Chain A
Amino acid sequence: MKLNKASLFALIAVLELASDTEQQLSTTEIAERHGISTHHLAKVMRNLVHEGLVQAVRGAGGGYRFSGNVKRTTLLDVIQLFETLESELDVPDQWDQKGNQIITELQSITNEIDELTKAVLDTITLATVLKNSQRRVGILSALSATTT
């Protein structure tokens, strides 16, 4: 599976904002923190506002604030705003798909993969990603403490 850039930027922005639901961050601040394109992120942020996952706060000190539910919003909820995850078989047009049992079987296999992908992405909430990231930071800190 390869996520497109918009999905990835959206996940980064939403997770950054969801890590502290009181904070407001501008597009530039998020982009600089993660070394990503401000221009591309700005488009993504407009989509996230439109879908109600983040809220635009106007005025001095304005920016974006997370407005979803950290414990209920899943990775799939964010990704699906920017792409579909269905696998596609690049079957040549001249092939008769209906009568081709091999194609049918291959499609059944890609469907199985898609189902598993969705079962993973639709059950990992933003809260779980943030919690596991913190756990990872803790492990790295402990490792670095024992090696220094």
Chain B
Amino acid sequence: MDRDMKEKISIRDAVASDLDAVISLDQWAPQEEKPDYWSDVFDHYVRRDNNDRLFLVAESNNRVVGFIIGEVRAWEFGSPPCGWVFALAVSPNSRQIGIGEQMFEEISKRLKQAGVTTVRTMVDRDDKLTLSFFRSLGLCTGKYIELEKQID
């Protein structure tokens, strides 16, 4: 990837026709569950016009090379309104050129416009790459601690 490529990246709101491209970029959901999962996500974040819900894609040469999803959530866990980023992906062939950072900056800007001043996410402790990425953007351990247990 060269600088010319970087300059051609645009970040825009996702549209219904991005569904297949997003599914192909998703590394997390199991293959068989992807269509249902992503159809629900598109219903919630793309097909409904709501400034508190954001689904952005990064596009290069008319091709979707990344996406980021987030929303404003209020009073869950006693937290005042804050922005949550709960999904982010960049095509393996388009990494290391700042697409993730561009998408994160754009969604942060939109979340601020929606009235919040904190953005929050959650990452698997063993996912060093993603944790390092968010750290490099200035995120650090927040005020809330995630707790869990196995149910017998």
The answer to whether A and B assemble together is: yes
Residues of A at under 8 Å CB distance from B?
74, 115, 119-120, 122-125, 127-128, 131-132, 135
Which residue on chain A has the smallest CB distance to residue B145? A116
Q: Which of B132, B135, B138 contacts A135 (CB 8 A)?
A: B138
Contact between A127 and B128, CB atoms less than 8 A apart: no
Mostly helix, strand, loop or mixed at chain B's interface?
A: helix
Give the residues in chain B near A132, CB-CB below 8 Å. Answer: 138
Give the residues in chain A near B128, CB-CB below 8 Å. Answer: 122-123
Give the residues in chain A near B132, CB-CB below 8 Å. Answer: 74, 123-125, 128
Q: Closest CB of chain A to B51's CB: distance in Å?
A: 29
CA distance A74 to B125 in the complex (A): 15
CA distance A124 to B134 in the complex (A): 9
Q: Closest CB of chain A to B140's CB: distance in Å?
A: 8
Q: Closest CB of chain B to A70's CB: distance in Å?
A: 11
CA distance A74 to B136 in the complex (A): 12
Interface centre among B128, B131, B136 (most CB of A within 10 A): B136
Contact between B125 and A128, CB atoms less than 8 A apart: no
CA distance A42 to B86 in the complex (A): 46
CA distance A123 to B136 in the complex (A): 9
